[in-house]
Amino acid sequence: MAEGEKGQGRYGTVNWWYKILEALPFEWAQEGQMIFMKNALLAIILLTPVFALLGTMIVNNGMAFFSDALGHGAFTGVAIGGLLGLAEPIGSAVAFSVIFAFLITVIRHKSKMAGDTVIGVFSSSAIALGIFLATLGGKSFTKLNSYLVGDILSIAPREIGFLAIVLGIVLIFWFFVFNRLLLVSINPSLAGSRGINTFWYEVVFSCAVAVIVTVSMSWIGLLVINSFLVLPAAAARNIARSQRQYHLLAVVFSLLSGVAGLILSYSFETATGSTIVLISSAIFFTTWFVRKRFA
Amino acid sequence: MTETRFHNHDACRQGCCGLCCTKIEDFGVTIGSTVILKNVNLHIHCGELTAIIGPNGAGKSTLIKALLGEIPHTGTLKFVQYDNGLLKAPVMGYVPQSLNLDTTSPTSVLDLFLACRSKYPAWLIRRKREVYKVKEQLDRVNAGHLLSRRLGALSGGELQRVLLALALDPVPEILLLDEPVSGIDQNGLELFYETVSELRNAYDLSIILVSHDLDMVRRYADRVVLLNKTVLMAGTPEEVLNSDVFFDTFSLRWQKEKRGKGGTAL
């Protein structure tokens, strides 16, 4: 919660953050040094815990494939924004991916078809539409590559501010709906008998995931963004015995892999998103091997 | 409680002689072109345990889901209280057949209860007072020691008791129980029925129980409803479990003959 609100103080300035880092005894942390790394570090610290928290519910509900599809919807939104000539396609991307999330949830509910088939249909259609629109009229796809791979090092203070506001809103929302979502994930009939409208809670949750995936897509990269949601929760699930442990571990794992991944990606000169995911996977396999001790 | 129950004329005029009763009128469920239930009419009195029995695919679980309002149905559910006031939506308690839970799920019994009763996220804020109340709830069904166990690590009988405790918080007017087909040992089942029986007396609940164990039904139910797409027969366990309709429905012809020779059925 606390991280979510930090960036909101003075919109566009993160001087306080530089000051904190300057207190550290590292060469790179000194005043005026490696500003882009400091920005990226702040963005990572804001982003990863929110992803981990929503990820716990995605893993509870077996929705890993679903959240992957949401990323595809967001990509199509960016393509539509580009077509409409918007300078910042983020608005249309959020709008489209929310509509997309809503549609998948409705059809998953109304149709007797297996959930993964519905998601597969939507996911493929969305990505195809996105590529179709992006290349319409012989345009090059190259400018969209940044969305696929992501570049957290290019994030600017103003963008961190925007991210912090969106993530803060998602966290507040999360605070109020978590219990009901947990109950729906445990047993929809049981939730229904306690007066919970399972359908709308699923819709709201899908939309929240759609929003955070979309606003973070260009920093993390569409190809690996789903791992930010799924891996920390999956690793935590290996050894957690209650919801409290599950959430705390997921957040710790996500922060750990986020910060370590950023630093390693700098020294190896690799894409940050994928480096973070590799560390998350390493944590997942480690917890998987020791899981029996915690069972 | 029992004395007043027989002297309530208002309720009697409504066609049910209890302090309150639940009327299921003309219930029908059709999914696609398949008729699953039709013309289901039932009166369920409070303080009574009504067992619903029937062969596989008779629509027993569907009836429960329709009563919960989870699947669309025709007909009405009326809850009549002793003063003739119609409660539009009675408080329902529901014990599902199973949770279909991923057994590795890191959800403890406490998490499940807090998710139901607390305003704050179950993983973030655990108030002492709330935890104490949950413990109390569990103690009522002899499950207090399960508080911090994982749901996936509970035995079938333990899980059933936990779900029962959950269904009683808050105390419902109608308790719907869908008994598990498998996964509960005989002792667990015995304990479960005994607990339900005690609750019936303690809270004066209307209990509707889908049951697969005819022996338990015989011993604990007040009324038995034989269901197969519609109500074939309703009455006391004695009446229903010895009727021809019952034997025919369950294809127990040999039992019917045995009964004819003076043996006891089942």
- Residue B250 — pLDDT band, cuts 50, 70, 90? confident
Helix (H, G, I), strand (E, B) or coil at B20: coil
B135-148 mean pLDDT = 89
- Note whether A64 contacts B: Cβ–Cβ < 8 A: no
Please report, rounded to a whole number, the percentage of residues in chain B having pLDDT higher than 70.
Answer: 82
Provide ipTM, 2 decimals: 0.81
pLDDT(B214) > 70: yes
Q: Reduced to 3 states, what is the DSSP secondary structure of residue A19?
A: helix
Tokens 């007396």: give the residue: B201
pLDDT of amino acid A84? 83
Q: B76: burial class by Cβ within 10 Å (0-12, 13-18, 19+)?
A: exposed
| Shortest distance, CA A210 to any CA of chain B (angstroms) | 21
Residue B62 CA to residue B81 CA, distance in Å, equals 26
Residue numbers of B between 181 and 220 with CB closer than 8 Å to A: none
Contact call for A193 and B124, based on CB within 8 A: no
Which tokens in the block code for residue B117? 């009763």
Tell me which chain B residues have a C-beta less than 8 angstroms from the C-beta of A295: 153
Asked if pLDDT for residue A4 goes beyond 80, the answer is: no
Please say if the pLDDT value at position A294 is more than 70. yes
Residue in A175, A189, A243 nearest the CB of B107: A243
Q: Is B96 on the interface with A (CB under 8 A)?
A: yes
Three-state DSSP state, B154: coil
The whole-number pLDDT of residue A8 equals: 42
- pLDDT value of position A125: 92
Q: Which residue of B has its CA nearest to A246?
A: B106
Grouping H, G, I as helix, E, B as strand and the rest as coil, residue A196 is coil
Tell me the C-alpha distance between A37 and A43, whole Å.
10
What was the pLDDT predicted at B110?
A: 93
**Structure-derived torsion over alpha carbons of residues A21, A27, A28, A29, reported in degrees to the nearest 10:** 10
Contact between A217 and A93 under an 8 Å Cβ cutoff? The reply is yes
Measure Cα distances from B125 to A49, B110, B122, B130, B150 in Å: 18, 12, 6, 10, 18
Q: How far is B219 from chain A (nearest CA, A)?
A: 28
**pLDDT confidence of residue A48:** 93
Pairing mode of beta strands B206-210, B174-178: parallel
The residues near A253 (Cβ < 8 Å, ≥ 6 apart) are A52, A231, A232, A235, A236, A280, A283
Is residue B90 within 8 A of residue B158, CB to CB? The reply is: no
Asked whether residue A56 carries a pLDDT value surpassing 60, the answer given is yes
The pLDDT value recorded for residue A9 is 41
Per-residue pLDDT at B252:
65
pLDDT in tens, A80-131: 888 887 777 788 889 988 999 999 888 888 877 777 888 888 889 988 998 8
On whether the CB atoms of residues B28 and B70 are closer than 8 A, the answer is no
Q: What pLDDT is stored for residue B263 in this prediction?
A: 47
Number of Cβ atoms within 10 Å of the Cβ of A109: 13
Task: Name B37's bridge partners.
Answer: B29
Q: Has residue A74 got a pLDDT over 60?
A: yes
Spatial separation of the C-alpha atoms in residues A272 and A48, rounded to whole Å: 13
Asked if B142 reaches chain A (Cβ–Cβ under 8 Å), the answer is no
- pLDDT, residue A240, reads 92
Mean pLDDT is lowest, of A104-118, A242-256, A270-284, for A104-118
Q: Does B1 touch chain A (CB under 8 A)?
A: no
Q: Do B68 and A182 touch (CB under 8 A)?
A: no
Chain B, window 61-90: residues with a beta carbon less than 8 angstroms from a chain A beta carbon: 65, 68-70
Identify from A244, A248, A252, A294 which residue to disrupt to test chain B contact, counting B C-beta atoms within 10 A and taking the largest count.
Answer: A244
Q: Is residue B102 less than 8 Å (CB to CB) from chain A?
A: yes
What is the C-alpha separation between B168 and B94, in angstroms, rounded? 9
Q: Distance (Å, rounded) from C-alpha B252 to C-alpha B121?
A: 52
Task: Check CB contact under 8 Å for A190 and B163.
Answer: yes
Does the structure show a pLDDT above 60 at B5? no
SS3 B19: coil
Contacts of A186 in chain B (CB under 8 A): 99, 101, 105, 107, 112, 115, 151
Read off the tokens for B115.
Answer: 């998710």
Q: Do the Cβ atoms of B95 and A193 come closer than 8 Å?
A: no
- For B140-159, what is the mean pLDDT? 88
Name the band, by pLDDT with cuts 50, 70 and 90, for residue A54: very high
Amino acid at A65: F
Instruction: Give chain A positions within 8 Å (CB) of B167.
Output: 193
CB-CB: which of A188, A190, A244 is closest to B123? A244
Indicate the pLDDT class of residue B1, thresholds 50, 70 and 90. Answer: very low
- Using DSSP, state whether B42 is helix, strand or coil: strand
- The 10s digit of each residue's pLDDT in A191-236 is 888 888 888 988 999 999 999 999 888 888 888 888 999 999 999 9
Judged by a CB distance cut-off of 8 A, whether residue B177 touches chain A is no
pLDDT higher than 50, residue B3: no
Do the Cβ atoms of B122 and A179 come within 8 Å?
yes
pLDDT of A59 > 70? The answer is yes
How far apart (Å, rounded) are the C-alpha atoms in residues B124 and B111? Answer: 10
CB contact under 8 A, B65 and A190: no
- What's phi and psi for B68, nearest 5 deg? -75, -10
Give pLDDT tens digits for A150-194. Answer: 888 888 888 899 889 988 998 898 888 999 999 988 888 888 888
Report residue B118's pLDDT band, with 50, 70 and 90 as the boundaries: confident
**Residue B111 to residue A242, Cβ atoms within 8 A:** yes
Binning pLDDT at 50, 70 and 90, where does residue B132 land?
very high
How many contacts does A have with B, using Cβ atoms within 8 A?
A: 94
Using CA coordinates, name the residue in chain A closest to B108.
A242
Largest CA distance in chain B: 66
- What's the longest Cα–Cα distance across chain A? 60
B86, β-bridge pairs: B80
* Partner-chain contact B108 A243, CB within 8 Å: yes
Assess contact for A130 and A250: CB atoms under 8 A.
no
List pLDDT tens digits, range A11-28: 446 788 888 888 887 777
Give chain A's mean pLDDT.
86
pLDDT of residue A289: 93
Q: What mean pLDDT, rounded, does chain B reach?
A: 81
pLDDT of B61-113, one tens digit each?
889 988 888 888 998 888 776 666 666 577 888 998 888 777 888 999 999 99
Residue B122 and residue A174: Cβ atoms within 8 Å? no
The rounded distance, in Å, linking the Cα atoms of A123 and B131 is: 43
Q: What is the mean pLDDT of residues B126-136?
A: 89
Contacts of A243 in chain B (CB under 8 A): 106-108, 111, 122-123
**pLDDT at A1 (0 to 100):** 40
Kindly report the number of other CB atoms within 10 A of residue B57's CB atom: 11
pLDDT of A262 over the 80 cut: yes
Chain A CA closest to residue B117: A179
Where does residue A137 rank: exposed (0-12), middle (13-18), buried (19+ CB within 10 A)?
A: exposed
What is the reported pLDDT for B85?
63
Q: How confident is the model at residue A145 (pLDDT cuts 50, 70, 90)?
A: confident
Chain B contact for A140, CB < 8 A?
A: no
Percent above pLDDT 90 for chain B: 16
pLDDT tens digits, one per residue of B6-24:
444 444 444 455 567 788 8
Of A175, A178, A241, the CB nearest to B106: A241
Chain B contacts of A57, Cβ < 8 Å?
none
Inform me whether the pLDDT recorded for A67 exceeds 70: yes
Q: State whether residue B77 is helix, strand or coil.
A: strand
Residue A288, φ and ψ in degrees, nearest 5: -65, -35
State pLDDT tens for residues B156-197.
888 888 999 999 888 888 899 987 766 677 888 888 888 888
Residue B52's pLDDT band (boundaries 50, 70, 90)?
very high
Q: Is-cis flag, bond preceding B170, omega within 30? A: yes
Contact A175 B124 (CB under 8 A): yes
Pairing of strands B74-80, B21-31: antiparallel
pTM of the full predicted structure?
0.82
Q: Which residue of B has its CA nearest to A59?
A: B105
Top residue of B124, B151, B162, B171 to mutate, by most chain A CBs within 10 Å, is: B124
Percent pLDDT > 70 in chain A is: 95
